[in-house]
Structure 1
């Protein structure tokens, strides 16, 4: 009987490991070899460069191991937020609806696209001495420009030039088709236009490693390490169910963001009330109460000392209070819009009682501004309007007829879909974050896919982006009725259509002096929509159109010397009339607002007693920024 062969003591000896790594490295390298002419780094010969072979092999092995580990980790434990957001049926239905509305399948449309494509390819290839237009110079500009393809490497080689130029042609044609679709209701056409933009943004060749010359070159230079780091970022985001925009370790509440000194002086299950310590010897007699949106954290107004509106307002001699809303949990399952309006009424009364004053200035930002309008109407109907000296609205809508791209997400089908995402009576804030990211997909999604997933770059330490990713959960009942009553049915502008705490509200009753700020480039609360509030008020108002958008248009400190704002002190009846007759002022609108506040009441008094929170005989709950802003 023949003797059995004796197996080696270690089947995976060094030679075997090296051979496996060489095979993985060669396979990975082969993916990028066809694109070598785009790269400044020469492709090494793995047979004669063992170090390069090992480097490529290690990258391939790391990638394989990370995916295997992630798959094992997530087996049977897929996070609901990811599973629901990535539900193929949802996106397939949206795509099918979009395709049915677009004239893509029409013969004449396809023929025209083919004709335009041939003309483009002839022009582009001629730039490189190819084809009938070969006399053209390589210095000649490419037909279409886009900042995503500004890097010279997109034009260095004919393949990448042809690729991105063809993409831009198709994107241009699809966008035009969406704009020209006939026979659809305005809301449906807006959805078609928005979904077209989503499709176009997603299909950019910049978003894929094998069609992006910058990614290819980085991969060859690092022997795949950029992809390893990028997959680490991707898997981390998949685990938390949210796209990361900023270094998650760079900021800490109370340490380097939200650091304006103050105390939590009042608390309910729905909000904390923060009072900030004065920095001037005297303060204005009438305090300021700020209502930030509860769909975000309040510290957008207190990012850091240079950007902080709160700190700046304190330095102007205002006694500043801010409401810090609690992120929703199961205990808030029955919270509705009435509760937020009545919370604003309560906070106004708490401030008045605490300081012994008859009135307070108030600010409402975004959705809290919408609610503030309802609050003022409620107080007016109850003959209590004199509790508020003035009201300021930051990018707030009350008439939702032209509410921008967000309306693309609001119809019966999508509201029903949102109901299916509710957990324990609240909507996970990551859904809202994803929605707002989609409104600016190129900047807030695909830019980070390329930089962080494909190029493997480190996340920036940027406080605004950190805040943008600091999501807040929403009470499901409130969210549903808000979308239906305001965005879908536009009931807030219908007199007495809505009731708060049993009282019908009519915005036409508001006689409180109002300062209304809108952002010229705001994609969340378009200026035209914000302007509509002026058509409803019965009291005096000032409208200011600020440069930039929903955030930068508001958070624009004077020292930054950025942007501009426009005022028109005439009597314009439309935004177009306002713009036509407006005067421009460089820089921030904050000083204009502060002058308006002082015009309403310039009385001052010493900054002592309850004007200094936490002083002798003034028990407080805790230091600012408080617990609620830290709850997740």
Structure 2
């Protein structure tokens, strides 16, 4: 056996071991966690001043807690000793103000506060390792919260008494039902929503298909339409129909009713055979092929392009390449919760370092793709209270089953990520930040967002855990064109699906012209007031102002140009499991 072959064999053994480990660790690298822990522990051990502060903090805070607890036993209206974080809703219910549960909650918050102080501010610890250690401590504390246990949660006790124990019985039935579904490799069925029946039902035709995308052209709803069509590039991490959910909250339906001709990319769900699909394939066989088809169907018309999440990052990259090559097919660019600078990409960066990416790469090498369960595990950890522990309490201890809605059904319809593309994306974008630094290579040459000259409409959401709005805001420093920035209420998904008439929706909006000076995100936040309503409406107006005169609706596809309709929307790729 040659030395090269022997080395490949040893590397394969390592990869298989890492892939097997990853199925039990939800894709988290043990080496990465260990390095972070040792960095924190060693520096803490060499900081006697910090240790003495921690010890003094324990004594002083516990003395105050004991005095407060004695008073709280007879005074349920006593102000809390420790206020929970603004976003912490675990102890909001009135039952938590009664003794002894008020003292239990305050004792937990005291320990939570101490661990925050113990895991942060240690001199010498790298910022990344400090974030990882604090995150790990928070996961442990979330698991040990008194809200998660029947004997320390007054809501569970009261519900059990009120229902004569039926809530616990129903919770057991819910648990057994979910265990059965998990064993069979399925999810809880929702019969109320079905793709093609009441989800993704805006009328249209698939007018182009290759091995990576289907291009859907939607039927017009108005007697005349704006000359320039819209191409929407969704994220390929999930199915496209988040932008075409139910008829009442479909962005696609809203746009066609406003007189726009809309095209949508529907991505193929990759499997092991697609392991070598790369970023260049998503650019060329994705966005560029879609633009080519639209140019054939609607010759000599520029295109308003919109990208959501990963699709927005891909669109920005493609637009920079088009601008570099003096290709002027785009009329404008709209980006929804899309990051272009990854230096402060939020808590997802906890899972991004050399050790973690090497580990994840081995996991994908084993199957040829990143499985949906591994991605779901990372997002669940980021919001463990909302996505895990509160669900366990609600469904298994309180016996409540939340009714499914269209967004929840879409959220469970996830896709896979091909090995080569996802490796390139994580290394080039997240780890090396090549796009923002002008080092990302398209067609053997680097691209720069500074080359883009068409106007940009950029949307971020206030409660985004995937693409934090301050990270999205960094686009201001990367482009030299007019940029309209919108900060809307809601999170990564619900903030985008924000149809007119949706209650409690608001947004901030401001135009930064190319000659305007830069202002920080916090200054921007203080300068521009909230406006009630949906950001879809100013976006539709923005598109209309940058479009030409209205004309007759185009035909569906163009048979003479080789783009005859293939099948009705939503097509075939959206049904791939």
Per the normalisation by structure 2, the TM-score is 0.86
Q: Partner of 1:211: helix, strand, or coil?
A: coil
- 2:252–2:262 contact (8 Å) kept in structure 1: yes
Other-structure match for 1:604: 550
User: Which of 527, 530, 538 is the matching residue for 1:592?
Assistant: 538
Q: Distance in 1 between matches of 2:442 and 2:35?
A: 41
Other-structure match for 2:434: 491
- 1:82–1:241 contact (8 Å) kept in structure 2: no
Matched, 1:84 2:27: no
Other-structure match for 1:181: 122
**1:315, distance to aligned residue in structure 2 (A):** 0.5
**1:247, distance to aligned residue in structure 2 (A):** 5.9
User: Which of 432, 435, 451 is the matching residue for 2:378?
Assistant: 435
Q: Partner of 2:420: helix, strand, or coil?
A: helix
Q: Distance in 2 between matches of 1:607 and 1:82?
A: 55
Q: Please tell me whether Structure 1 or Structure 2 has the larger radius of gyration of its CA atoms.
A: 1
Over aligned residues, Cα RMSD in angstroms? Answer: 2.8
User: Which of 394, 407, 413 is the matching residue for 1:470?
Assistant: 413
Other-structure match for 1:404: 346
Matched, 1:139 2:77: yes
Q: Partner of 2:54: helix, strand, or coil?
A: helix
1:483-523 deviations in whole A, cap 9, x for unaligned?
Answer: 1111111111222x221232321222111221111123322
Q: Distance in 2 between matches of 1:87 and 1:483?
A: 17
- 2:249–2:499 contact (8 Å) kept in structure 1: yes
Q: Distance in 2 between matches of 1:513 and 1:89?
A: 40
**1:427, distance to aligned residue in structure 2 (A):** 0.8
Other-structure match for 2:400: 457
Matched, 1:270 2:212: yes
- 2:272–2:367 contact (8 Å) kept in structure 1: yes
Note closer, same or farther for the CA distance 1:93–1:360 as it changes in structure 2 (3 Å cut): closer
Q: Distance in 2 between matches of 1:379 and 1:93?
A: 39
**1:325, distance to aligned residue in structure 2 (A):** 0.7
More off after superposition, 206-215 vs 597-606: 206-215
Q: Distance in 1 between matches of 2:38 and 2:402?
A: 36
Note closer, same or farther for the CA distance 1:485–1:219 as it changes in structure 2 (3 Å cut): same
- 2:224–2:551 contact (8 Å) kept in structure 1: yes
**1:478, distance to aligned residue in structure 2 (A):** 1.2
Per the normalisation by structure 1, the TM-score is 0.79
Q: Distance in 2 between matches of 1:150 and 1:533?
A: 38
Q: Distance in 2 between matches of 1:94 and 1:234?
A: 30
Structure 1 runs of 4+ with >6 Å offset: 80-83
Matched, 1:355 2:298: yes
Q: Partner of 1:206: helix, strand, or coil?
A: helix
User: Which of 172, 175, 184 is the matching residue for 1:231?
Assistant: 175
More off after superposition, 306-315 vs 221-230: 221-230
Q: Partner of 1:544: helix, strand, or coil?
A: strand
**1:118, distance to aligned residue in structure 2 (A):** 3.4
1:501-520 residue pairs with structure 2 within 5 A?
501-520=443-462
**1:336, distance to aligned residue in structure 2 (A):** 1.1
Matched, 1:166 2:107: yes
User: Which of 524, 528, 531 is the matching residue for 1:578?
Assistant: 524
**1:89, distance to aligned residue in structure 2 (A):** 9.6
Which structure's relative contact order is higher, taking Cα pairs within 8 Å and 6+ residues apart?
2
**1:542, distance to aligned residue in structure 2 (A):** 1.6
1:151-300 residue pairs with structure 2 within 5 A?
151-158=93-100, 160-219=101-160, 221-222=164-165, 224-236=168-180, 238-239=182-183, 248-300=190-242
